[in-house]
């Protein structure tokens, strides 16, 4: 299988150079664009399997580039936002970016995110509907109106955050959800609390649904990325 082709739209030379080096070393094919118009033109000319798009670009903003590419294609777009800029994150999510990373990012994390986005895109899994209905996956039935979990004919109530987390994972079964995406969706994009909260909730859910919570098979940890629920 040939490795994916990545279009990098980034105005800062140092980031462009290091991304070019990092992504090529990982075996990706890399196309570089310095400006929004160059990025749109490169995508129109050569296409890409993933677009890594800096939100803060001179001239044509990342948002405009996003829309210009989206008009043509549903290619996965990973937004790159400035350090700790919550506004950028929110814009990225509202636009419907497939994921985002915050500068400065670790190369390993970025590559993991790119691979996760590619896998997700390949499987064509859906996002979360506005009015979720009852869902059955991995031998569990989740009722979002009653916040109940039914397994082996037995129902139990689940606290709201735990339920939201489990439902999100179940809705996206088979797909790796990055930690930050989970935190934003379950706790809100303005949540600044300890990210250990997520692990604590995962632990509680595992104690409900896993035969051996210390050796989970339903909800799996993807090191350095997040969690996935095995369908
Ligand atoms: Ca920039």
Band of pLDDT at residue 1, cut at 50, 70 and 90: very low
> Ligand 1: distance of its center to the CA of 76 in Å?
20
CA neighbor of 10 nearest in space, from 37, 41, 32, 29: 32
Query: CATH number for the 135-229 domain, one of 3.40.50.720, 1.10.10.10, 3.10.20.30, 3.30.460.80?
Result: 1.10.10.10
> Ligand 1: distance of its center to the CA of 90 in Å?
17
Domains of the chain by residue range: 5-123, 135-229
Give the pLDDT confidence score for residue 128 in this predicted structure.
42
> Ligand 1: distance of its center to the CA of 30 in Å?
18
DSSP 92-121: HHHHT-SEEEESS--HHHHHHHHHHHHHHH
Fold entry, domain 5-123: Rossmann fold (3.40.50)
More confident residue, 120 or 63: 63
Give the pLDDT confidence score for residue 131 in this predicted structure.
54
More confident residue, 198 or 1: 198
Average pLDDT, integer, range 190-214: 85
Rounded to two decimals, the pTM is: 0.54
> Ligand 1: distance of its center to the CA of 24 in Å?
21
Give the pLDDT confidence score for residue 192 in this predicted structure.
57
> Is the Cβ–Cβ distance between 206 and 213 less than 8 Å?
yes
Give the pLDDT confidence score for residue 191 in this predicted structure.
59
> Ligand 1: distance of its center to the CA of 158 in Å?
43
> Ligand 1: distance of its center to the CA of 34 in Å?
9
> Ligand 1: distance of its center to the CA of 10 in Å?
6
Determine the Cα–Cα distance for residues 18 and 216; give it in Å rounded to an integer: 37
Determine the Cα–Cα distance for residues 174 and 55; give it in Å rounded to an integer: 29
Average pLDDT, integer, range 39-52: 92
**Cβ atoms within 10 Å, residue 104:** 8
Band of pLDDT at residue 88, cut at 50, 70 and 90: low
> Is the Cβ–Cβ distance between 90 and 54 less than 8 Å?
no
Instruction: Kindly tell me if the per-residue pLDDT of 211 is higher than 50.
Output: yes
SS3 (DSSP) at 54: strand
Give the pLDDT confidence score for residue 126 in this predicted structure.
43
Domains 5-123 and 135-229 share a fold: no
Give the pLDDT confidence score for residue 127 in this predicted structure.
43
> Ligand 1: distance of its center to the CA of 80 in Å?
9
List all residues 6 or more positions away from 67 whose beta carbon is below 8 Å from its beta carbon: 95
Determine the Cα–Cα distance for residues 82 and 117; give it in Å rounded to an integer: 20
> Ligand 1: distance of its center to the CA of 73 in Å?
23
Average pLDDT, integer, range 95-118: 83
- Residue pLDDT, tens place only, 137-194: 999 999 888 889 999 999 999 988 899 899 999 988 988 888 888 887 787 655 556 6
> Ligand 1: distance of its center to the CA of 103 in Å?
10
> Ligand 1: distance of its center to the CA of 35 in Å?
9
Give the pLDDT confidence score for residue 39 in this predicted structure.
95
> Ligand 1: distance of its center to the CA of 218 in Å?
40
Give the pLDDT confidence score for residue 63 in this predicted structure.
87
Instruction: Kindly tell me if the per-residue pLDDT of 214 is higher than 60.
Output: yes
């Amino acid at each position: 299988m040939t490795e994916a082709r990545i279009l990098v739209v980034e105005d800062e030379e140092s980031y462009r150079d290091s991304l070019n080096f990092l992504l090529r070393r990982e075996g990706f094919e890399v196309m570089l664009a310095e400006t929004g118009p160059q990025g749109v033109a490169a995508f129109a000319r050569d296409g890409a399997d993933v677009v890594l798009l800096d939100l803060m670009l001179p001239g044509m903003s990342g948002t405009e580039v996003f829309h210009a590419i989206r008009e043509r294609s549903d290619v996965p777009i990973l937004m790159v936002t400035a350090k700790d800029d919550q506004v950028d994150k929110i814009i990225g999510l509202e636009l419907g970016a497939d994921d985002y990373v915050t500068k400065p990012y670790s190369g390993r994390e970025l590559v993991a995110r790119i691979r996760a986005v590619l896998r997700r895109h390949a499987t064509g899994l859906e996002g979360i509907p506005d009015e979720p209905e009852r869902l059955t996956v991995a031998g569990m039935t989740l009722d979002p109106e009653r916040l109940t979990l039914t397994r082996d004919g037995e129902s139990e109530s689940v606290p709201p955050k735990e339920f939201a987390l489990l439902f999100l994972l179940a809705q996206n079964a088979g797909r790796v959800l990055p930690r930050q995406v989970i935190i934003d969706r379950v706790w809100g994009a303005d949540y600044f609390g300890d990210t250990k909260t997520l692990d604590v909730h995962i632990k509680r859910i595992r104690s409900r649904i896993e035969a051996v919570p210390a050796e989970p098979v339903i909800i799996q940890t993807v090191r350095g990325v997040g969690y996935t629920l095995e369908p």
